[in-house]
Amino acid sequence: MKRMKLFLLNGLLLAGTSILLQTVGISFNVYISGKIGAEGLGLYQLVNSVYRFGVTLALSGVSFASTRMVAEELAHNSMWGARRAMFRCLLYSLFFGTFAACALYFGAPVISLRWLQDERTLSALRILAVCLPFVAMSSALGGYFTAVRRVAKSASAQILEQFIRMSITVAIFQFFAPDGLEAACVALVVGGSVSEAGSCLYLFVLYLHDRAKHDCAGQAGGHFTRRMLSISLPIALSTYLRSGLSTLQQLLIPAGLKKSGSSYDVALASYGVIQGMVMPVILFPSAFLGAFAGLLVPEMAECRAMGKTQSIEIIASRVIRMTLLFAIGTAGVLMTFSGSLGDVIYQNEEAGRYISILAPLVVVMYLDSAVDNMLKGLGEQMSNMRYNIIDSAMCVVLVYTLLPLLGIHGYLIVIFMSEIVNTSLSVHRLLKVAGVRVNLTEWVLKPALCIATASTLTQLMLHLLGLAPDGALPLALCIAVCAVLYLFALRAVHCVTHRDFLRARAVLTGK
């Protein structure tokens, strides 16, 4: 029970940090969108699509490698083994981070002029290249703190990074007033690059301090390089292919929208609304689940290393159930208040419409995140690689064929098909390796009925009282009322039982 309490407390800490950062991040997006507009957001998202591939190349699966290796060594009480594992992972991250930085820096002219076909992106790409070694090492260090269950340190690094990013960016916009979209993009990436370097140095100091407090006890497992490569390379190959195909997909989107009849500026603006405005709102509630999902990797890795098959089945079953309960409720809330969210956050009617369309996909996206982390903890990297390749290749074909015909609606179809196919394959694999039995009535149908009831009652109350969620505080109160009604409905149909409350209280009190 003490172990479970630590897991819960770490998850709550990460969730709180993530919610704080995402709240600040959305506020920052509102500020940026006011400065550079939807077209500027679209241009920045294009730069980010290339940068994300650079990050993928820099990371090369090191985060999961460090988490799993350290967790496996600690499962056998070997702090000495954990140190040796981290040394390998840091060297690995430094090598791939430097390689990715050189590739992006020297390849920036070709990427900006031929791939993006927009020379305004050249300077931003070169600045972003410099921070890739820091990103890679931060990922390895973050994996260590996840494995040793001291996530407060990595959480503090995330807060520091966001603070530096925002401070520098706002200072540049306030005191230097960048003129034009190119200068605005440069201002954004300068803040990001400096914040990544600062976060990495901070994490490294914390790691040295944490390491010095523990004796080098225990017998190391051995074969560290081979083990690291067996974990990281399958993930790396998967992410290379998926990120490369995803980058290609993102680059094809403005061109495809333009072929459908839109001008380049209009296409870039529509792309900016979905990627820069809507997706942050859609993914915002996942901060809570995402924190716990990341902690599942060392938990599953230790259960697998010690042969606890029954524990794996129990953990997987509970995680799927709770994820679905949360995601279905979230999807209902987003659909109910989509128009108000677009108006209150961005003062943009188009953003509200896209939130409503994409809200049902929340269930699939949140479930996919939890399932992927459990599969990685169980050593199913090759399965993830296959599914990601299938998903990304399918998306490229669909973007190339659908967008010229259907425009932005074609892009929405691609998003739905991508998430559904990937999640279906991943869930099928987890059910097979973990032996989980799905209860569709209790996990899906009843929660869907509960959130429909809660949403209807909330709207009826607003109508009878003559109120409207037309401000930040009224909207937050309406969402809170809907959430409370949803919880009561879940309790009424026994989706959440008295035993669940007792278990939660036992975990929190340690009794």
Residue 260 — φ and ψ, nearest 5°? -75, -5
Identify the sign of the CA torsion 66, 79, 18, 43.
negative
Angle at 50 between CA 228 and CA 145, to 5 degrees: 35
pLDDT digits (tens, 9 = 90+) for 105-131: 999 998 888 877 778 888 889 999 999
Q: Could you tell me which residue, 222 or 35, shows the higher pLDDT?
A: 35
Q: Are 46 and 118 in contact (CB under 8 A)?
A: yes
Residue 163 has pLDDT above 80, yes or no: yes
* Contacts for 483 with CB less than 8 Å, ≥ 6 apart: 329, 333, 454
- DSSP-based three-state secondary structure for 217: coil
Query: In the predicted model, what is the mean pLDDT of the chain?
Result: 83
Give me the helices (H) in 378-407, please: 381-406
Average pLDDT in the 384-399 region?
Answer: 85
Pair of tokens at residue 65: 């490698």
pLDDT digits (tens, 9 = 90+) for 312-341: 888 888 888 888 999 999 999 999 999 899
Identify the sign of the CA torsion 413, 414, 419, 421.
positive
- Cα dist from 37 to 1, 123, 185, 225, whole Å: 51, 20, 12, 48
Reported pTM: 0.71
pLDDT digits (tens, 9 = 90+) for 64-73: 888 888 888 7
Pair of tokens at residue 151: 């996530």
Calculate helix-pair angle for 62-75, 79-110, nearest 10 degrees. Answer: 180
H/E element holding 8? helix 2-59
What's the longest Cα–Cα distance across the chain?
69
Q: Are 231 and 68 in contact (CB under 8 A)?
A: yes
Our measurement of the distance from residue 58's CA atom to the centroid of its chain's CA atoms, rounded to an integer in Å, reads: 17
Residue that the structure tokens 């979905």 belong to: 274
In this prediction, residue 469 carries a pLDDT of 79
Lowest mean pLDDT among 290-294, 392-396, 412-416, 426-430: 290-294
In this prediction, residue 158 carries a pLDDT of 84
Task: Report the range out of 24-33, 250-259, 434-443 with the highest average pLDDT.
Answer: 434-443
